[in-house]
Amino acid sequence: MSLDAATKPHEQLAEYLATDMEAVNRMIRARMASEHAPRIPEVTAHLVEAGGKRLRPMLTLAAARLCGYDGPYHVHLASTVEFIHTATLLHDDVVDESDQRRGRPTANLLWDNTSSVLVGDYLFARSFQLMVETGSLRVLDILANAAATIAEGEVLQLTAARNLETTEEIYLKVVRGKTAALFSAATEVGGVIAGADEAVVKALFDYGDALGISFQIVDDLLDYAGTEATGKDIGDDFREGKLTLPVIRAVAAADPSEREFWTRTFGKGRIAEGDLETALALFAKYDTLEATRRDAVLWADRAKAALDAVPEHDLRQMLADLADYVVARLR
């Protein structure tokens, strides 16, 4: 990998896939339009034009190109994946606002809950229309399953919140649901539309799955270890009672008085001045941030290992670099 180089892996991918990504952007703009309901593009533009990295659609394009695809439908599928992602973000806004009131300027504060829910539904329906156009039932199967897994993961996260019995196994299910399911579906459908061998399709799924898990572990870790550069507030998850790996591990190692601390703060949400600092001290005592970081590296390594089974291609190295880059955010 070349972290010292001027160009980051996702930027390299964006450059390599520039023509395809332009086609995706055109398709997204065309399909989010609604003749009768101008509110719809207003709300989606807020998210779609916000200029995220477009990581998920790039994964689909890269997987298809890597397998030698030269038809038109990787653009439909990349747009599909971005629509599903955007719909999820819109619905997450409602979820977060109603339960936690983070106070960020999410779409549902700029407009309202109603628009977030309905426009999310619209994009979700639109994404299925795009899939139907590919004519591939297998693609529909993969993405319908991913959509169900995403919703299940979000509900599971909800019921796991403030529950100190949450295990690493449950955490992994939540992470697969909220993040990895769409990553792995994104890469898998790229291989499927290209008509790749089953072993390659499986490898692309495994890559997306491991990359997504690594990505989410890092995201959760940055909630405690982030700096101003990452743009994240430290301790959001602590205040919201979201059990992530650093906490799950500290709870598992806790002595009785520490367990009392976790029960009060995470279990009951009664948080006082200085509690976040105490939590961070306990993470240090049991080295749980470093252990979590090692987990993220492990999953990134698994993502790279999966790529051994995919064809030789410039994009293969970029995908490997991307896996390294995901954990490099931690330095």
Task: Note whether 163 binds a second copy by CB under 8 A.
Answer: no
Task: Note whether 129 binds a second copy by CB under 8 A.
Answer: yes
Site string for a second copy, 1-40 (x = CB under 8 A): ---------------------------------x-xxxxx
Distance CA 13, CA 157 (A): 32
- Positive or negative, the Cα torsion across 114, 120, 124, 129? positive
- Cβ–Cβ < 8 Å for 93, 107: yes
Task: Note whether 132 binds a second copy by CB under 8 A.
Answer: yes
Residue nearer to a second copy on the CB measure, 248 or 296: 248
Distance CA 171, CA 159 (A): 12
Task: Note whether 278 binds a second copy by CB under 8 A.
Answer: no
Residue nearer to a second copy on the CB measure, 184 or 288: 184
Task: Note whether 73 binds a second copy by CB under 8 A.
Answer: no
- Cβ–Cβ < 8 Å for 326, 300: yes
Judged on CB neighbours under 10 Å (0-12, 13-18, 19+), 308 is exposed
Task: Note whether 89 binds a second copy by CB under 8 A.
Answer: no
Task: Note whether 239 binds a second copy by CB under 8 A.
Answer: no
Task: Note whether 113 binds a second copy by CB under 8 A.
Answer: yes
- Cβ–Cβ < 8 Å for 60, 81: yes
Residue nearer to a second copy on the CB measure, 158 or 253: 158
Among residues 1, 89, 95, 109, the one that binds a second copy under rule CB under 8 A: 95
**Considering only 47-55, 111-119, 290-298, 318-326, which stretch makes contact with a second copy by CB under 8 A?**
111-119
The least distance separating a second copy from the CB of residue 6, rounded to whole angstroms, comes to 40
The least distance separating a second copy from the CB of residue 291, rounded to whole angstroms, comes to 25
Task: Note whether 125 binds a second copy by CB under 8 A.
Answer: yes
**Considering only 140-148, 225-233, 294-302, 312-320, which stretch makes contact with a second copy by CB under 8 A?**
140-148
Written as one string, the DSSP assignment of 263-288 is: IIIIIT----TTHHHHHHHHHHHHTH
**Considering only 22-30, 130-138, 216-224, 287-295, which stretch makes contact with a second copy by CB under 8 A?**
130-138
Of 268, 256, 266, 258, whose CA–CA distance to 235 is shortest?
Answer: 266
The least distance separating a second copy from the CB of residue 104, rounded to whole angstroms, comes to 17
- H helices of the chain, in order, are 9-16, 18-32, 39-48, 55-66, 73-99, 107-110, 113-134, 137-160, 168-175, 181-193, 198-225, 236-240, 245-253, 256-262, 275-286, 288-306, 314-328
Task: Note whether 141 binds a second copy by CB under 8 A.
Answer: yes
Residue 133's φ and ψ, nearest 5 degrees, are -60, -25
- Cβ–Cβ < 8 Å for 99, 157: no
**Applying CB under 8 A, which residues contact a second copy?**
34, 36-40, 91, 94-95, 98-99, 112-115, 117-119, 121-122, 124-126, 128-129, 131-132, 135, 137, 140-141, 144-145, 147-148, 150-152, 154-156, 158-159, 173
